[in-house]
Structure 1
Amino acid sequence: MEFKAQPKASHFIDGEYVEDTDGTVIESLYPATGEVIARLHAATPAIVEQAIAAARRAQPEWAAMSPMARGRILKRAAEIMRERNRALSELETLDTGKPIQETVVADPTSGADAFEFFGGVAPAGLNGSHIPLGQDFAYTKRVPLGVCVGIGAWNYPQQIACWKAAPALICGNAMVFKPSENTPLGALKIAEILHEAGLPKGLFNVIQGDRDTGPLLVNHPDVAKVSLTGSVPTGR
């Protein structure tokens, strides 16, 4: 059976699409009609481990790069998103049910803005501070956290993927991102674009899943930071 928005595979890990059909089936519906537009699989524990291991391996070398070099990659990703705005907007409409009149002016463009903004602040905004204390002084140094997890929501899926990825990546972190199971498609395209823009593999990974997948991510000992968009009960 063919689906109009079927991705190459369910997950994007270490720079490539990855599938594990042992995971629970996730049917992606076009909300305007109820049509099944893609069929994916939730991440198994093995997929979660694979994604976090890729992020952990890639992060130190990325952190050692200058903020200027990291910023160039994010700004290139912003350019690609703008070049492909129509296709990304159509996918966002299928994913969310929003009218194309909205997605074409608001969704991928806002994500591109996030990449451009954080790419631009990198040269000057990531330095530490020199603090005079009378005859003495103190200084601060900004250092990356390591592996970050992003958990998205259904209402602005492409934007949220960019909003979470951009500050994490520009500061030298790696990210494993789980979109909402209701809108699983857009984040995979964001991962593709970041990779095409020059982001080294393993730094932005996308895995699918539901309420059973989130705890595997947030409780993992190698995860240093979690960014969640969702309700208070979900956060708890």
Structure 2
Amino acid sequence: MQTQPIASHFINGEYVEDTNGTPIEVIYPATGEVIATVYAATPQIVEKAITAARDAQAAWAAMTGTERGRILRRAADIMRERNHDMSILETYDTGKPYQETSVADATSGADALEYFGGLAASLTGEHIQLGEDWVYTRREPLGVCVGIGAWNYPTQIA
């Protein structure tokens, strides 16, 4: 299996490389072998990613919950279709046994996408009684956020 990615970053549907970033060796924990080298994101790469996310967010926010849910469910289907390859890569990356990665990593990520994809169409506002008054909440996509996820189940956390 090819473990060296095409590029260190994937932004706006394209692989992007910037060798000005600090090189990071990817080590297969089972053998100590260097199986890939990627480059840390430079400020220019980070800005490119944020710009792409902001540009895409407007179209995402304009979709209905049902439309967003369909996309998440399709992503879950793709993850399940590619479970074997994703599991092998996760085994190389973390050293976890294939027996675990094949039943837990990509599949739990797909499960999470499927769950939230199914939930997306049902999110509505709420009326909340506050004494004599009431408030109405409205759930809508407001913008881009950045998260730093756990190392042990990165596909699920994403």
TM-score (norm 2): 0.93
2:46 is aligned with 1:48: yes
Mapping of 1:79-228 within 5 angstroms?
79-124=77-122, 126-132=123-129, 137-161=134-158
In 1, Cα distance between equivalents of 2:34 and 2:130? 63
Q: How far does residue 4 in structure 1 lie from its aligned partner after superposition?
A: 3.5
Q: How far does residue 145 in structure 1 lie from its aligned partner after superposition?
A: 3.1
- Aligned match of 1:37: 35
Could you list the per-position Cα deviations for residues 83-133 of structure 1 after superposition, in whole angstroms to 9, with x for gaps in the alignment? 111111111100100001111111110000000000001111x21112356
Letter in 2 for 1:150: G
Higher relative contact order (CA 8 A, sep 6+): 1
Give aligned-pair identity as a percent: 71
Q: How far does residue 152 in structure 1 lie from its aligned partner after superposition?
A: 2.4
CA RMSD, aligned part only? 1.6
Q: How far does residue 139 in structure 1 lie from its aligned partner after superposition?
A: 1.3
SS of residue matched to 1:26 = strand
SS of residue matched to 2:145 = strand
Could you tell me whether the CA contact under 8 Å between 1:8 and 1:17 is conserved in 2? yes
Could you tell me whether the CA contact under 8 Å between 1:92 and 1:158 is conserved in 2? no
SS of residue matched to 1:147 = coil
Residues 1:137 and 1:105: Cα distance change in structure 2 (over 3 Å): same
2:5 is aligned with 1:28: no
Q: How far does residue 160 in structure 1 lie from its aligned partner after superposition?
A: 1.9
Could you list the per-position Cα deviations for residues 152-201 of structure 1 after superposition, in whole angstroms to 9, with x for gaps in the alignment? 2322222222xxxxxxxxxxxxxxxxxxxxxxxxxxxxxxxxxxxxxxxx
* Larger-gyration structure (1/2): 2
In 1, Cα distance between equivalents of 2:113 and 2:130? 37
In 1, Cα distance between equivalents of 2:95 and 2:130? 56
Q: Structure 2: any 5+ residue segments left out of the alignment?
A: none
Q: How far does residue 134 in structure 1 lie from its aligned partner after superposition?
A: 7.2
TM-score (norm 1): 0.63
Q: Structure 1: any 5+ residue segments left out of the alignment?
A: 162-236
